[in-house]
Structures are given as structure tokens and as C-alpha cells.
């Protein structure tokens, strides 16, 4: 692990996004059923799974510090007829950032959407997963680009 002992605790926020692409017939079925699959409410379940993943990132990625997460929020919206974008924002006041927690949350939420819908089609594709925004610490990232 990286030694963070000498760092100052500051407010740190990270936002990650993941996309899920569905075949059009699958979206039609989901919308007709109120975004529910045979397993239950798709987006609600993905939010729960993503939140659990954020809190357990240090158990999944070997050199991540265990962190007392202060805020974790998900937004999920269809940005086109067939593409769902999952946004995970994580915040903390600590000596290290929460980029990995936000990325893990978005990833696991996307995987959960796939799992909840795979009975409808195996042509669902999890697309790009990326860090969208990071504030606090040494560097700032906006729209996936490091800012001086």
C-alpha cells in the first residue's frame, strides 16, 4: 500500500461512469415491465450492488485502503434508445482519493444490470467504464482529462 500518513485529510470526490448497451427489443420489454426483469427491479438492484461494491473496494483490489465512505450516489439514465449510462459519485474527507471506489461501483452496477437482464438476451454489452471527474488531492480530473 502507499503510505498516506503524511498527507492532509481533504474533501475528495470521484465520479465514474459505465455504459450498458441493449438490443432494442430488450429495452422495449424492460420499459413495458417498468424496468423490471424476472429477477426484480433492475436499476434498484444495481444501485444496491454498486453501493456494496463501493464499500468493499479494498477487499476486491489488493492495495486500496479501507475507507469510511461518506457519500455514494448513483444516477442511471438512458442516453439513447438502447444505451444506459450509470454514474457513480463517491465522496469522503480523507488522506486518499476514491477513484477506485467510484470505478468499482459503476462497474458492479453495470454487471448487475447485465445479470438482471441476461435472460432476455446475451447480446447486452457493457461498454466504456471510465473516471469522469475527480476533485481533491494533488490532481483534478474533468471529463476524463487531468487538469493542471
Write the pLDDT tens digit of every residue in 43-97: 999 999 999 999 999 999 999 999 999 999 999 999 999 999 999 999 999 999 9
Of 37, 20, 30, the closest CA to residue 111 belongs to 20
Give the separation between CA 84 and CA 43, rounded to whole angstroms. Answer: 10
- The CATH architecture to which 10-147 belongs is 2-Layer Sandwich (3.30)
Q: Where are the domains of the chain?
A: 10-147
**pLDDT(33) > 60:** yes
Residue 6: pLDDT band with limits 50, 70, 90: confident
State yes or no: is 77 an active-site residue: no
pLDDT value of position 136: 87
Mean confidence (pLDDT) of the chain: 93
Which pLDDT value is given to residue 145?
62
Quick one: average pLDDT of 101-120? 98
Which entry of 3, 75, 77, 115 is annotated as an active-site residue? Answer: 115
Amino acid at each position: 500500500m502507499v503510505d498516506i500518513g503524511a498527507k492532509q485529510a481533504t474533501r475528495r470526490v470521484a465520479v465514474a461512469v459505465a455504459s450498458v448497451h441493449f438490443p432494442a427489443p430488450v429495452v422495449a420489454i424492460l420499459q413495458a415491465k417498468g424496468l423490471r426483469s424476472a429477477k426484480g427491479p433492475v436499476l434498484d438492484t444495481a444501485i444496491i450492488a454498486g453501493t456494496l461494491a463501493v464499500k468493499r473496494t479494498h477487499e476486491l483490489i489488493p492495495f486500496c485502503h479501507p475507507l469510511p465512505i461518506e457519500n455514494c450516489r448513483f444516477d442511471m439514465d438512458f442516453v439513447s434508445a438502447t444505451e444506459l449510462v450509470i454514474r457513480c459519485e463517491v465522496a469522503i474527507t480523507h488522506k486518499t482519493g476514491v477513484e477506485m471506489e467510484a470505478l468499482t461501483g459503476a462497474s458492479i452496477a453495470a454487471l448487475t444490470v447485465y445479470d438482471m437482464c441476461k435472460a432476455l438476451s446475451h447480446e447486452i454489452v457493457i461498454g466504456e467504464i471510465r473516471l469522469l471527474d475527480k476533485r481533491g488531492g494533488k490532481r483534478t480530473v474533468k471529463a476524463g482529462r487531468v487538469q493542471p
